[in-house]
Amino acid sequence: MTSLHEYTSHEVCPICGKSGWCARREDGLVLCKRAPSPPEVPGYTFKGMTKDGTTGMYVEGGRESPVRNRLPRQRASKAIELGRGESPLLDEGRSPEIIFRSWVGAFTPERRAALSQELGLPEYAIGRLIIGWSESARHHDDYRIAGAWVFPECDGQGRIIGISYRFPHSTIQTKTRTDGKPIGSKSAPAGFRRGLTLPDDWREMPDPIYAVEGPSDVLAGRALGLSVIGRPSNCGGTGYIAQAFRFRRVIILGENDRKNDGRWPGKEGAELIPRKLASIWGRPVPVAFPPEGIKGLRDWVKSLVSDWTSDLASIRDSVLGATKPPELLLLAKPQKRGRPVVEIFSWSDGAEASPLYADRLDTKDASARRRFAKAVGAIRKDADTDERTHRLLLLEALSETETKTDKAAHDAVLPDSLQSRESKLSVILLPSGPTTITESAQKLGNLLAATGKYFIRGESVVTIGRDDEGGPILQQLRPTSLASTFETVAKLNMYVRTGGRTVVYSAVLCPRSACCRVVRF
């Protein structure tokens, strides 16, 4: 049984900095009863919480548990008997970083030049990553294939937690898998976690950060001067990206790797990862793709660069321009009840900026989408109202998917029907010119009452909603929803004095003014 050493009054816990109550096991595991939030602590790896939910488990960096082969012992022995070679991954007591560092010295100038030629990239770009070479590396599809370049993979704090292999084309070009398909050049050993491919200067790279797939795309991007980090797979690495780049502007770069059977892994990952990051960060994460017919960033860069001694700045600017997100980004946050809250962010304001505007929005309603777009236009004069309205329609599928309903996606492809509905709405003039507040409020109140969905209880306006069990309840209308509620029953206009004459314009209601117009209902 592993013994436990409790920190006394003369000792302090390295996690919380306090004495007493915390403890350390003889194998180096620190049990902290006062685990911080967030739990990450420099120099230590957070291993999770104990079953009581109050004690954090930490291991000092470089002293993680030995990496063990996940295969049953008899299968590992059988592999050695078949001549597959004894792998250093089976060694006990060595961390992933120590194992990788033992291979760095074998990455000779000759192997650097070979990798440069294999990838079609200049040799100076190869130096952007710390790379190794392992003669004992074995391909997961065929253990007879040995010898590969080794790339480190890191967690969100830059610590090496795993490795990946890239085998020379000459060793795999005639090999096939058991199903008859060609063997790929990429592989990874069993027993390690997968992580991010981080350049040596990843903390100092300027925004935006491109999250691409694989180390070769990282090398290509860094050769061009782009800020690039690598994901381990199409859908992997989300948690580490969220931890390392929380306060950075990140663009997920997908791949054009559509398969013959219709699958598109690059697109699947480019849709899944931004959704996960948005739920963690609370802000939208944009997506970009290479041009049609080009798989990934490395192929894109090679198609643009014919001579690596030419002016790379103009080529870099063209890639930045082609992948630049829209200035205004939308994020829908589903609510337990009612319409989702739609927030709009400015890309140029940075990762820590607050939303420019937010409102509960029925994205199925054309007039509500137009009202939202016009409200943003009042804040940002340079924005295109029609373009924002169209993007709200596309946002509908994402918000309704998160709330597990399908009707919105069906309605989103029927904009004409929504517009015909709007054309049948009554026109109401908001208080302006000869129109008074009382007059506008009475007309809006009558239209709401005619729907049979809105009532007066005391001094509040209520509607029929549903509780958690699906039963009917009366819900008070909130200020954030009143503006869009008005536009479900009326087309709102107002008088505006311009150029020495009075004209009628479409109006936009903010939540505050909506309250003023319903108080007399």
Residue range 267-285, pLDDT digits in tens: 888 888 998 999 889 899 9
Sheet of strand 23-25: strand arrangement: 4-6, 23-25, 30-32, 56-60, 44-49
Mean pLDDT of the 364-374 span: 78
pLDDT of residue 144: 86
Dihedral over Cα of 214, 219, 222, 226: its sign: negative
Final residue of a structural domain among 371, 404, 421: 421
Q: Is residue 219 part of a domain?
A: no
Most confident of 32-41, 405-414, 499-508: 32-41
* Same domain, residue pair 417 and 480: no
* Same domain, residue pair 333 and 396: yes
Final residue of a structural domain among 405, 421, 437: 421
Final residue of a structural domain among 370, 393, 421: 421
pLDDT of residue 319: 93
* Same domain, residue pair 406 and 429: no
Residue range 124-135, pLDDT digits in tens: 888 889 999 999
> How many Cα atoms occupy the beta-carbon half-sphere of 119 within 13 Å?
29
* Same domain, residue pair 432 and 404: no
Residues 375, 378, 383, 385: what is their CA dihedral angle, to the nearest 10 degrees?
40
State the pLDDT confidence band at 502, using cuts at 50, 70 and 90: low
Residue range 62-87, pLDDT digits in tens: 665 543 333 333 333 333 333 333 34
Q: Is residue 370 part of a domain?
A: yes
Q: Is residue 254 part of a domain?
A: no
pLDDT of residue 193: 86
Q: Which of 86-95, 359-368, 407-416, 424-433 has the lowest mean pLDDT?
A: 407-416
Q: Angle at CA 312, nearest 5°, toward 309 and 316?
A: 160
Question: Mean pLDDT for the chain?
Answer: 76
Which 3 state secondary structure label does DSSP give 242?
Answer: helix
pLDDT for residue 366 is more than 70: yes
* Same domain, residue pair 452 and 502: yes
CB 220 within 8 A of CB 298: yes
* Same domain, residue pair 415 and 429: no
CB 500 within 8 A of CB 426: no
State the pLDDT confidence band at 226, using cuts at 50, 70 and 90: very high
**Separation of CA 14 from chain center:** 33
pLDDT of residue 416: 38
Residue from 272, 42, 504 nearest 264 by CA: 272
Residue from 455, 459, 461 nearest 476 by CA: 461
Residue range 31-62, pLDDT digits in tens: 887 777 767 788 888 888 776 567 788 888 76
Mean pLDDT of the 90-100 span: 71
Q: Is residue 82 part of a domain?
A: no
Mean pLDDT of the 196-200 span: 92
Report the number of distinct structural domains present in the chain.
3
* Same domain, residue pair 415 and 449: no
Q: Is residue 268 part of a domain?
A: no
Q: Is residue 13 part of a domain?
A: yes
* Same domain, residue pair 429 and 514: yes
Report how far residue 247's alpha carbon sits from residue 260's, in angstroms, rounded to the nearest whole number: 39
pLDDT of residue 73: 37
Most confident of 339-353, 364-378, 490-504: 339-353
Q: Is residue 37 part of a domain?
A: yes
* Same domain, residue pair 432 and 513: yes
Mean pLDDT of the 142-167 span: 91
pLDDT for residue 498 is more than 60: no
pLDDT of residue 517: 38
pLDDT for residue 286 is more than 90: yes
Residue range 322-340, pLDDT digits in tens: 999 988 888 888 776 777 8
* Same domain, residue pair 500 and 434: yes
Q: Is residue 315 part of a domain?
A: no
If 0-12 CB within 10 Å is exposed, 13-18 middle and 19+ buried, where does residue 371 land? buried
Report how far residue 174's alpha carbon sits from residue 38's, in angstroms, rounded to the nearest whole number: 50
pLDDT for residue 418 is more than 50: no
pTM of the predicted model over 0.85: no
* Same domain, residue pair 449 and 512: yes
**Total residues belonging to the chain:** 521
Domain encompassing residue 395: 328-421
* Same domain, residue pair 452 and 402: no
pLDDT of residue 263: 83
Q: How many angstroms separate the first and last alpha carbons of the chain?
A: 74
Residue from 246, 168, 265, 253 nearest 213 by CA: 253
